[in-house]
Structure 1
Amino acid sequence: MNQMREFSERWISDVSPMAMDILRKNAEITDNCEVKFNDDLGFEIHDPPYKHVVDLRNKVCSCWSWQLKGIPCGHALTSIHYKDWVVESFVDHWYKKETYLKAYNRFIQPMTNMKMWPKSDRPAIEPPEITAMPGRP
């Protein structure tokens, strides 16, 4: 647990290194994208041959990558850069240092040896029988 906490001290930003790697890969997509401003926080991004709609307010892109991963896709990055905003603020809280440290702030208490556990009078659990399935072996 201490190693996990120490690992977070080596993070360059408030976002995990794994999420930062994905952001760097997604940033490569932004070179091919063209921004069409649509609304206060809505954008139409041309990524030939496709067009994607990005809504920064709801953290939504029509390519669905942002919703699935919680990390802005290349289309969302294009819109964020267009507005000159900080990219890290659009990454889900699951990838933030604060959330990471919450997962490792408790200590796991050691358990006694299996020989010291109380004996149960219930039947032992056995694995299911192996049955041949139809088709190729």
Structure 2
Amino acid sequence: MKGIDNGFRDYLVSSLGDCAYELTMVGFHEKLKKLKEEDKQRAHSFFKELAPEHWVNSYFRGMRYGEMTSNVVESFNNWIKKARNLPITRLVDTIRTQLMRQLLAWHDQANKWKETICPTFETLLLDTFNDNSSWQVSKASEDVFEVHSIPSVIVGIGRRTCSCFQWQINGFSCDHAIIAIQKSRYNLNDCMEHYFHVETYRVAYSVTIFSISSMEKPPFRSHRLYHISTNYEKTTRQVEEE
């Protein structure tokens, strides 16, 4: 990206994101072709050995559950910022205490939920249906529906598929599927992957991180560690000199 105007650079990065999030292979190759034409040789070199199954939604085999980045790592690093400069034993114990409190808080929170689907996704389901309730739906069989959106798509409720591919990749019902399910004999909650169920959330945070008593721990001696480190450095220098 060196030597590229900031505005054009931001546009290229945004276009790369569009390619990554594209759900269909046809759509991906159309957007990638356009990106390569705009950035010429630089883009061709960049994509030469970059396998699409490692970064493109439409080529990914499995479910991403809507996640495309590892930003949670940065969130964790920020969460333990105060502990990172502590001596190693105190650092580990501080992080353990933070995790112990956090897991218990999430566990207690989940026990208050009465819904089948986690509240965030329950709200998303309702909003999606309200926004797209004007779409017309045609029934082909007990399981298969055509949703007349732009473009129109085919929803297979029994197999949890939609020709837009969003349901297969994210695991969470797409807009088309939600509308089709509402017009079918199926229960919307039963069509959700268990990943989004309150029951699954509770199981994830059911593990207990136990507290550790410090009654029989030896007292921490920072000056002792300093002398050990100093003696180690002296010994190392002597070996190097010999």
TM-score scaled by length of structure 1: 0.71
Shift of 1:110: 5.5
Question: Which of the residues 94, 102, 118 maps onto 1:16?
Answer: 118
Q: Once superposed, which parts of structure 1, at least 4 consecutive aligned residues long, lie more than 6 Å away?
A: none
Task: Give the 5 Å matches for 1:2-81.
Answer: 2-47=104-149, 49-81=150-182
How many residues are paired up?
A: 115
TM-score scaled by length of structure 2: 0.43
Structure 2 unaligned residues grouped into runs of 5+:
1-102, 222-227, 229-242
- Percentage of matched positions with identical amino acids: 22
Q: Secondary structure at the residue paired with 1:89?
A: helix
**Match of residue 209 from structure 2:** 108
Shift of 1:106: 1.4
Tell me the amino acid that sits aligned with residue 178 of structure 2: L
Question: Which of the residues 87, 91, 109 maps onto 2:192?
Answer: 91
Query: In structure 2, how many angstroms separate the alpha carbons of the residues matched to 1:55 and 1:8?
Result: 31
Contact 2:128 2:175 in 1 (8 A): yes
Residues 71-104 of structure 1, C-alpha deviation per residue, up to 9 Å, x if partnerless? 2222112211112432111111011122111111
Shift of 1:46: 0.2
Structure number, greater radius of gyration: 2
Shift of 1:62: 1.3
Residues 29-73 of structure 1, C-alpha deviation per residue, up to 9 Å, x if partnerless? 4323111111220111101x3101000011011122222322222
Computed over aligned residues only, the root mean square deviation of the Cα atoms, in angstroms, reads 2.4
Q: Secondary structure at the residue paired with 2:117?
A: coil
**Greater relative contact order: 1 or 2 (C-alpha under 8 angstroms, separation 6 or more)?**
1
Residues 1:28 and 1:86: Cα distance change in structure 2 (over 3 Å): same
